[in-house]
Amino acid sequence: MILNKRIIRELKDNWVRYGALAFLIIFSLALVVSMAGSTDVVNYTIDKNNEKNRLEDGEFSVYVPLTENQQQQLEKLGARTEAAFYVDLPGPEKSILRIFKNRNNINTIELEAGRLADQTGEIVLEKHYAENHRIDVGESMIVNHKSYLVTGIATVPDYSNVVQNVSDVLADLTQFSLGFVSEAEFNQLLAEDLNVEYNYSYKLDGNLTASELKEKLIDLDFDKNRVANKYMQEIINTIEKGKNDLSGGVNELADGTQKLANGTSSLEQGSSELAAGAGSLANGTDQLSSGLEELTSANVTLNKAADDVFQGMIAQVNSEFEKMGITVTVTGDNYGTVIDRLIKTIGESDANAVMALNTMKAQLDSYKAFKEGLSAYTNGVESAYSGSLELSAGADGLYQGSLAVASGVNTLRNGSAELNSGMGELKNQVTNFIDQNMDYQYVNLITFLEADDNQRITSCKSDAAINKNSALIAGVIILTLIAYMISVFVIHTIDKESAVIGALYSMGYVKKELLRHFMILPTVIVTAASMLGTGLGFLLIGENIKENVAYYSYPGYTIVFPPYLLIYGILLPILIALFVNYMVINNKLSMAPLKLLRREKKQHPLTNIDLKEMGFINRYRIRQLLREIRGNITLFCGLSIAILLMVFGFSIYGSVSAYVNNVASDVAYNYLYLLKYPMETAPGDATKAYTESLTADLYLTGGEMDVTVQGIDDENPYFDFSLAGEKNDVVISDSVANKFGYKVGDEITLSDNLEDRNYNFRVKEVVNFASGLYIFMDINNMRELFGKEDDYYNTLMSDQELSIEAGRIATVITVDKMVAAARQMFTMMYGLVITILGASVLLFAIVMYLLVKMMIDKSTFSISLIKVFGYNEREIKKLYLGTTFYTVALSTIIAIPVSKMIINKIFPYMVSNVSAGMNATMSPQSDLIMVAIILGAYAAVNFMVGRHLKKISLVEILKERE
């Protein structure tokens, strides 16, 4: 079609406009695609690697290695396990290398270079470590005073975040990493080093769940004597001793009773042969005395043990009451009345509770009876003993008292028989009691960690997720902007072509032909630009994930082209262009051709407003503004979207940097030690605290997130808020408040998933504490709540480093490390933040330029006209650009606060995977900077459009008619 010849010329004549639009599309799409694509590439690479190298479903560690038999047993149940024992050995430059043997089935080694170590004296290194220490394949290195030949460089899927402890916040890829040696080499190491972690990886085949596996592991038998960990051995010894004491007492008691029975029966014999055998009586009384003596000596232990048990039951009842929310305290003496009163108060209203209370009372009663029986019995033994002494002493007056003796012996015999038969019962009961209540079943399992909870495995992907969220939000804003700009552009272009379309239409061109013709240029531009932009985006992915690749340990990435990105990047803009073109042209062609020829437009009623009172320039300006009301609304909307993007850019920048700063300023201690095995006496210069990890529901994601509950006392020097209040009052950090949306006065529920228990708290106060997700409560209330002794602690805070045996420590958190971790997160986001920020500024300028230029283009005719009338440039600029200033100012005033509101709403979703509660903050300077940017962009655009105004020729008016 000959008409299409005009397309190239149209493009040439308006290349700035088309170029700006194309640039806008290319730039925006490159941004969106590279940001979103980066995450996909990371995720894809990791997923693929995890599958290829058979990532574990989880891992666990034990005190004593599983036997072959046990492993087979587990496999039969549906859990395949593989030993991943390790030792941490000193490597070069004070680094620590965690040495594993080669893996066969789970978490297999992905070689990046070289080969696996298959001889002794060979080692394969984790890739970042090798890189940081500049060690290549073929070189040798010293680990623990022994020289190794490096045969390969590799990664493993279970250590993509190479941290020493699972709870470490930050990996230091020079200080700590992994090495893999042959099985033979590893066995040699085991022989010399005792500090082995018996770690296992597992994979489930679907017949067994992780918690079932955990149950199985807890139940597995093992040889207690082989526990190598000395702290655990200490605990075992203490418990065993207590158990032995109690059962020893009972055994003594039984022995004594047996002797008593023997004595009694001898006594009986003796008394029946009273006359004949005074000597045998004397014998009998002796035996009796010694039996009773033995018996008496066991009395104290026995009574004490029984009383302890009873007090334990009372304590149990009290804690049960507390759980039920009943605020009474029972003692051994008052429980009967108290429970009766409770039953009366509850009455018929809760039959279950009454039943429970009754059962509780009956149990206490029966045990009390048992206890009292025991005490009566021991009293009996005591008096029998003193009686027997008397008996012995009175042997001389035997004859006189023989009648009394006979009857006394008879009674004694009866009592003794009863006692003996009762004894068996007692012994059974005590043994049962020990079995059931004092059965410290030693569990071999030390840790159990599912892959989903293992930040060595998950943190790379969840890190990428924030970036993805930001990318998607920025992407949505940018795509909206593009869609908007394409629409405005198309509408404007078609408007300008109105007369041509009208002429062609009146000459008999049909709609289809015109549609086709006028859609070619915008479609081609948008298609080319979106393809270029998307292509460029994919090329930029490498740059985007540089930080991620440098920090996490995973194999080289492969670029993937996710279909949704191709749809968003290429198809969507084209469809928008096609659709808008179609709608606009179609709408145009539904007008009578004559109207098109005359460029008739619907005049806004406001256009006719009476402005008599005003000065001419103002009047003209306002008329121009009203006449261009559509153009100005268009400008307003476009700028608002661009400002939204800018506010988003400033917000993530502001929030992340505020987070880093707050972490440093909120934490007052320098060292925080979480202890696995707290020592009996804590170092004097440290402050004790009690820390538990619970989970809270996160409504944002519908999932859960770990929070740390920390019990501190009011004297704690590192916190300046008071914890006094009700038992379940807690003080939460602003981080927690932001993340979970808690407010002062809220009742919150946290759960302990391992124990399957819920705890309720009431929020008393919100305090500034940026690092992590902390909830603080009074340490005594917390001990009580979690059933710990009055002086329990597991956390030490200190200004200086403490000398604590390494084996006791679970984690050490230093403020430096926390800040470094926050910085690391910042670094990882930095590129993205800067990109979004820069892009938003640039996009803002382009959008403003395009929109203002379009408005001026529309007025070319009248500008030419008033030039002819003799207006000078300054006046013309005032007339035609003055109006845009009001619009720019208005968009700034309205869009900035509105955008902030929108971003504040979106932001929590963006950081929903981060276990820190950031909210969207912008420094006050940011507002100024944004206004400056807007004004700057306005000035630049003003200048450029001003130059264009100058170029509008006087003869424009002679050639065309409006």
Positions in the binding site for another protein (CB under 8 A): 1-3, 5-6, 9-10, 13, 499-500, 502-511, 589-590, 592-594, 597, 959-961
Least distance to another protein from the beta carbon of 11, Å?
10
First to last CA, the chain: 27
Distance, in Å, from the CA atom of 141 to the CA atom of 148, rounded to the nearest integer, reads 5
Closer by beta carbon to another protein, 346 or else 520? 520
Distance, in Å, from the CA atom of 634 to the CA atom of 901, rounded to the nearest integer, reads 22
Least distance to another protein from the beta carbon of 4, Å?
10
Closer by beta carbon to another protein, 446 or else 499? 499
Which position has the token pair 């020493």? 164
Question: Which amino acid, 861?
Answer: F
910: Cβ–Cβ under 8 A, 6 or more apart, which residues?
466, 469, 470, 473, 652
Distance, in Å, from the CA atom of 622 to the CA atom of 517, rounded to the nearest integer, reads 37
Residue 771: phi, psi to the nearest 5?
-70, 130
Least distance to another protein from the beta carbon of 16, Å?
16
Alpha carbon distances (Å) from 353 to 343, 365, 366, 552, 635? 8, 18, 20, 55, 70
Closer by beta carbon to another protein, 198 or else 505? 505
Grouping H, G, I as helix, E, B as strand and the rest as coil, residue 85 is coil
Least distance to another protein from the beta carbon of 470, Å?
44
Angle at which helices 873-910 and 455-496 cross, to 10°:
150
Least distance to another protein from the beta carbon of 602, Å?
14
Closer by beta carbon to another protein, 17 or else 128? 17
Least distance to another protein from the beta carbon of 509, Å?
7
Cβ–Cβ under 8 Å, residues 813 and 170:
no
Least distance to another protein from the beta carbon of 869, Å?
22
Cβ–Cβ under 8 Å, residues 589 and 511:
yes
Least distance to another protein from the beta carbon of 610, Å?
16
Q: Which long-range contacts link 249-255 to residues 24+ away (Cβ below 8 Å)?
A: 249/298, 249/301, 249/302, 249/305, 250/302, 250/426, 250/427, 250/430, 250/431, 251/427, 252/294, 252/297, 252/298, 252/301, 253/295, 253/298, 253/302, 253/423, 253/426, 253/427, 254/423, 254/424, 254/427, 255/294
Distance, in Å, from the CA atom of 364 to the CA atom of 361, rounded to the nearest integer, reads 5
Closer by beta carbon to another protein, 403 or else 510? 510
Closer by beta carbon to another protein, 598 or else 783? 598
Angle at 198 between CA 193 and CA 201, to 5 degrees: 140
Residue 709 is inside which H or E element, if any? strand 703-712
Closer by beta carbon to another protein, 612 or else 961? 961
Least distance to another protein from the beta carbon of 916, Å?
59
Tokens of 301: 């232990």
CA 574 distance to own-chain centroid: 40
Least distance to another protein from the beta carbon of 950, Å?
20
Closest CA relative to residue 618, chosen from 878, 861, 865, 866: 878
Q: Quickly count: other Cβ atoms within 10 Å of residue 235's Cβ.
A: 15
Closest CA relative to residue 482, chosen from 643, 642, 634: 642
Closer by beta carbon to another protein, 558 or else 590? 590
Least distance to another protein from the beta carbon of 951, Å?
15
Positive or negative: CA dihedral 38, 40, 42, 44: negative
Closer by beta carbon to another protein, 498 or else 892? 498
Closer by beta carbon to another protein, 590 or else 803? 590
Least distance to another protein from the beta carbon of 867, Å?
18
Cβ–Cβ under 8 Å, residues 518 and 496:
no
Least distance to another protein from the beta carbon of 13, Å?
7
Question: Which amino acid, 96?
Answer: I
Closer by beta carbon to another protein, 506 or else 722? 506
Closer by beta carbon to another protein, 510 or else 567? 510
Least distance to another protein from the beta carbon of 944, Å?
23
Distance, in Å, from the CA atom of 750 to the CA atom of 721, rounded to the nearest integer, reads 22
Closer by beta carbon to another protein, 502 or else 917? 502
Distance, in Å, from the CA atom of 840 to the CA atom of 835, rounded to the nearest integer, reads 8
Cβ–Cβ under 8 Å, residues 330 and 314:
yes
Strand pairing report for 729-733 and 757-767: parallel
Closer by beta carbon to another protein, 583 or else 622? 583
Least distance to another protein from the beta carbon of 953, Å?
10
Closer by beta carbon to another protein, 575 or else 592? 592
Cβ–Cβ under 8 Å, residues 779 and 677:
no
Distance, in Å, from the CA atom of 711 to the CA atom of 693, rounded to the nearest integer, reads 11
Distance, in Å, from the CA atom of 661 to the CA atom of 658, rounded to the nearest integer, reads 5
Distance, in Å, from the CA atom of 96 to the CA atom of 140, rounded to the nearest integer, reads 16
Closer by beta carbon to another protein, 327 or else 590? 590
Closer by beta carbon to another protein, 437 or else 506? 506
Cβ–Cβ under 8 Å, residues 31 and 532:
no
Cβ–Cβ under 8 Å, residues 840 and 579:
no
Least distance to another protein from the beta carbon of 507, Å?
6
Least distance to another protein from the beta carbon of 606, Å?
17
Closest CA relative to residue 97, chosen from 161, 158, 157, 175: 175
Cβ–Cβ under 8 Å, residues 739 and 773:
yes
Least distance to another protein from the beta carbon of 578, Å?
21
Closer by beta carbon to another protein, 2 or else 194? 2
